[in-house]
Structure 1
Amino acid sequence: MLVRDIFLKAKSAVEFMYDKTAEIRRYEEYQKLNGADGMDWVTKHQGVPCRLSTVGMQTFNNTVQDEVNAIQYYVKLFMSSEFDVRAGDEFIVDGVKYESAKEPFVYVTHQEVLLIRKGYA
């Protein structure tokens, strides 16, 4: 039995821990009715089971005191490796919007995507 086969058997155990759902959107070019090119967010995947995790200590001090109270912190999203994710994709996880910071780390059992949460308090 190959190591890859053992990991594939563990995949269902990993996916059992997913407690949230995500919508994955990508900024893509499209043709407008008048023939001009435009850019818009297109939903690529919907209802994707996933799990979020905090990344490092910087997530505990997530407000910056400036002109406005800006919120910015990183989270790591775990999801199935079957879904196509690219750097710059937008994620909406249970109603909260995140941006994909980097390309995902894809493994046999899952993939990990570093996300940025930006907003205002």
Structure 2
Amino acid sequence: MDAQREIQTLIRRWVDAVDRADLEGVLADHTDDIVMFDVPPPHAGHRGMAEYRAAWPEFLAWQAGGARFELTELEVTAGKDVAFAHALLRCGPPEWYEAEPGKRLRLTFGLRREDRRWRIAHEHHSFVHPSP
């Protein structure tokens, strides 16, 4: 499998884990020194696996209450040992998307190859609200 396809598969697996509120699946395929800039504070980000892990339970509990985490676009650019990807998702309960059909969560990933496997080293999450 080529790098681009491997990374697409990894990200789709991560999206599926978030959608199912599966913490261990969310944590899989990340580096120990992961940096995540998320929508809620702290705006300086979460650094390292312990902080990354601690950031997820509250969101996943909300997610399990009926929200969706659904990939709508994914682009990957991969080199030999580093790659980046950007994606758009629907993230929220169905009523959000009835009110704002174009609302999307933006994701940017930085990845690196470690021990012949791709791992996510950086995530950046932000919301885009469609213009009226």
Relative to the length of structure 2, the TM-score reads: 0.32
**Normalized against structure 1, the TM-score is what?**
0.34
Q: By percentage of residues, which structure has more helix?
A: 2
- Return the index of the structure with the highest Cα Rg: 1
